[in-house]
């Protein structure tokens, strides 16, 4: 007789539940895609869970690989930048060319001094602070790079049980302060910075350090909780917590992000569960595609929002974007990202001792 976890995770896994790690990451990227082309305010949830997964994989990679490399910190930082920067630069160049064609004024596209734009695009740091970032969704890469810089220090803090508890509490307090004070008291910058999101990274790092393996049953309840929190809410008068639109209610503006935080917290067991599943070549491709889709969809969204009416034309533009972006993303992955990533992997391997080691696929971050 099938158990609850069998019914939720196995039978419909190829249709409803993206259980494999790459499929789940692509699912999160598509949620951001949908968020940007609709009134459904669920993109924050996807980014928070991305940060949890990023913390998990960075902790795993640092412990299993980079800490054993020659000049570990240098190897680690170069590898992380090498993994993200080439695609970011290419997508940025494509976006800059297409934005004026999508209706964005040229003076706005080039509002940022060229040298500053080039440096921030290449090294990612400071991108969310630019006067205008052509790839708006890349703000999270800025936060990722801030995390990468301090991650080895955080890894030392989570190496023992007491350090984990102290770090988790400190991260929770820090994230709460930086999430609330800029909007309530205007005493801290509202621009995305690591302290606002550090709690999610730390949760992922602790999960990796403790080698947490959520059971299928727990993962099932985690997935169901997410589903119910979304579907049930839509059926209530409080649906405006999720549904925003061009004129969001005051309740949406105040509570949508806390609601996304709750969604992310309920999804942590399922997210960690996916990291323990087998990943074949197709699934690894999906993991890589999630990063490219996350960046490449932005320019289409700008085109979409330049069209005010009629609705049928906006719908046609959205359909074109949903059809074209995955294809373009696959082409970038196949002929640009994959060869570069293979070269990066060979370089990292050349700097690691010849002793036996685990083979770990390194997903790109959102």
| Residue-level pLDDT, tens digit, the chain, 366 residues | 445 444 344 434 543 568 899 999 999 999 999 999 988 999 999 999 999 999 999 999 999 999 999 999 999 999 999 999 999 999 999 999 999 999 999 999 999 999 999 999 999 999 999 999 999 999 999 999 999 999 999 999 998 888 899 999 999 999 999 888 776 666 666 678 899 999 999 999 999 999 999 999 999 999 999 999 999 899 999 999 899 877 888 888 889 999 999 999 999 999 999 999 999 999 999 999 999 999 999 999 999 988 887 888 888 999 999 999 999 999 999 999 999 999 999 999 999 875 445 445 666 766
List 243's β-bridge partners, or say none.
40
The rounded distance, in Å, linking the Cα atoms of 310 and 307 is 8
| Cβ-contact 292, 325 below 8 angstroms | no
Paired tokens of 181:
């004070």
**Sequence-distant (≥ 6) Cβ neighbours of residue 67 within 8 angstroms:** 152
The rounded distance, in Å, linking the Cα atoms of 147 and 141 is 10
The rounded distance, in Å, linking the Cα atoms of 233 and 242 is 8
Paired tokens of 277:
């599943």
Paired tokens of 3:
């158990």
- What pLDDT does residue 307 have? 87
Paired tokens of 162:
């007491």
Which H helix or E strand runs over 343?
Answer: helix 338-350
pTM > 0.95: yes or no: no
What 3-state DSSP class applies to 352?
strand
φ/ψ of 44, rounded to 5, equals -60, -40
- What pLDDT does residue 354 have? 52
Ordered by start, the domain boundaries in the chain are 4-350
- What pLDDT does residue 2 have? 43
């Amino acid at each position: 007789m099938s158990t609850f976890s069998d019914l939720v995770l196995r039978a419909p896994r190829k249709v409803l539940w993206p259980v494999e790690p790459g499929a789940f990451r692509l699912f999160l990227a598509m949620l951001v895609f949908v968020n940007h082309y609709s009134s459904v305010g669920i993109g924050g949830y996807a980014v928070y869970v991305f940060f949890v997964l990023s913390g998990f994989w960075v902790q795993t990679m640092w412990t299993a690989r980079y800490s054993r490399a020659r000049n570990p910190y240098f190897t680690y930082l170069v590898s992380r930048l090498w993994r993200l920067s080439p695609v970011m630069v290419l997508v940025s160049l494509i976006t800059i060319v297409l934005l004026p064609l999508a209706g964005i004024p040229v003076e706005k596209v080039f509002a940022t001094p060229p040298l500053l734009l080039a440096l921030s695009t290449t090294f990612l740091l400071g991108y969310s602070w630019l006067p205008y970032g052509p790839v708006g969704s890349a703000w999270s890469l800025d936060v990722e790079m801030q995390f990468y810089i301090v991650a080895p220090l955080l890894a030392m803090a989570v190496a023992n049980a007491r350090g984990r508890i102290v770090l988790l509490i400190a991260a929770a307090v820090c994230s709460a302060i930086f999430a609330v004070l800029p909007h309530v008291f205007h005493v801290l910058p509202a621009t995305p910075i690591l302290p606002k999101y550090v709690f999610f990274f730390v949760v992922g790092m602790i999960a990796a350090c403790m080698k947490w393996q959520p059971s299928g049953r727990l993962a099932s309840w985690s997935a169901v909780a997410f589903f119910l929190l979304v579907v049930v809410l839509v059926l209530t008068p409080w649906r405006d917590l999720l549904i925003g639109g061009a004129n969001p209610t005051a309740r949406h503006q105040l509570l949508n992000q806390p609601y996304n935080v709750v969604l992310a917290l309920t999804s942590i067991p399922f997210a960690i569960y996916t990291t323990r599943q087998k990943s074949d070549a197709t699934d690894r491709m999906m993991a890589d595609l999630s990063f490219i889709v996350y960046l490449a969809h932005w320019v289409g969204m700008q085109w979409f929002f330049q069209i005010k009416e009629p609705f049928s034309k906006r719908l046609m533009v959205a359909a074109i974007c949903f059809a074209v972006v995955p294809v373009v993303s696959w082409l970038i992955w196949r002929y640009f990202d994959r060869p570069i990533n293979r070269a990066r992997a060979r370089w990292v391997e050349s700097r690691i001792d010849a002793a036996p080691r685990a083979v770990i696929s390194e997903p790109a971050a959102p």
